[in-house]
Structure 1
């Protein structure tokens, strides 16, 4: 398998995993950061929805309308 195909496969897996945990966090479930093991919190700032741990290991910003 080429390096490009392997990259695409891993990218799709990572994206699907991120979608799953975002759905869980946004539905109110408590998830922990994979790095520091602290709970992920959500915060709304204007058009952004931020999902992050206190230490900043995990930090995801979603644009919402």
Structure 2
């Protein structure tokens, strides 16, 4: 994922969910980025560019003990 895309996603998450969210590049991966709330890992944003349309998918696991 390009740095410009990460900046746009970071701004989007801050604006729509929480100003403390941070989107970071993943080491050795260029098709996704990691999403954090402070130091807490929340999930991964993946690039989906099938069918010629570029979109993003956010994947977040919720553990039973967190509920």
TM-score range with shorter-chain normalisation?
Answer: 0.3 to 0.5
Larger helix percent: 1
Determine which structure has more spread, i.e. the larger CA radius of gyration: 1
| TM-score of the two chains, using structure 2 as the length reference | 0.35
Larger strand percent: 2
